């Protein structure tokens, strides 16, 4: 299904141009709108698996919570890392590129704390900053459907 939707998304602008040239601009716009809808619906609605499986839960070895810290590194990164370390907690940090470039020492501190680091603007791969335990268990994940 994913390949069909993505192929249609690539072809839709060409169809728009052909239909427009042939005097059917509304039909072309409708084709383009449909191609966008086929991408947006599985992106915005939960459990729609048109673009691939949706992992909603999996078995864990112990009770755990996934903690994400967004838009850093910030002035409080060091204090936050100290608080996490005092409790033996790991977190995934989603960093902004310009802040990371301005404060490489903060990024290094996050890495030394063995917490996950990701720059969402540079990497679009899913779950790259997820805890290692997620990657080990992902094969046994139950998928919604």
Q: Are residues 18 and 85 in the same domain?
A: no
121 versus 5: which is more confidently predicted?
Answer: 5
6 with 68, same domain: the answer is no
The answer on pLDDT for 136 being more than 90 is no
134 and 90 in one domain? Answer: yes
Looking at the fold, whether 69 and 122 belong to one and the same domain comes out as yes
- Shared domain check, 138 and 87: yes
80: part of which helix (H) or strand (E)? Answer: helix 77-86
pLDDT in tens, 71-122: 878 889 889 889 988 988 888 888 888 888 898 888 888 888 765 666 555 5
Degrees, nearest 5: CA angle 48-1-7: 120
* Percentage with pLDDT > 90 across the chain: 29
pLDDT at residue 114, rounded to an integer: 65
- The model's confidence at residue 145, banded by pLDDT at 50, 70 and 90, is very low
Same domain, residue pair 65 and 132 = yes
Same domain, 30 and 84: no
Residues 66 and 123 grouped into a single domain:
yes
Query: How many domains does the chain divide into?
Result: 2
Q: Residue 21 sits in which domain range? A: 2-52
């Amino acid at each position: 299904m994913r390949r069909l939707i993505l192929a249609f998304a690539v072809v839709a602008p060409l169809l728009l141009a052909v239909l427009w040239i042939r005097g059917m601009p509304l039909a072309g716009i409708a084709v383009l709108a449909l191609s966008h809808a086929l991408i947006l619906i599985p992106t915005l609605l939960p459990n729609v698996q048109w673009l691939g499986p949706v992992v909603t839960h999996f078995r864990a070895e112990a009770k755990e919570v996934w903690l994400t810290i967004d838009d850093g590194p910030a002035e409080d990164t060091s204090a936050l890392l100290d608080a996490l370390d005092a409790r033996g907690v790991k977190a995934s940090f989603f960093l902004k590129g310009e802040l990371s470039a301005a404060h490489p020492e903060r990024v290094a501190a996050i890495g030394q704390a063995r917490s996950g680091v990701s720059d969402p603007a540079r990497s679009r791969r899913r779950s790259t900053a997820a805890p290692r335990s997620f990657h080990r268990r992902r094969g046994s994940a139950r998928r919604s459907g």
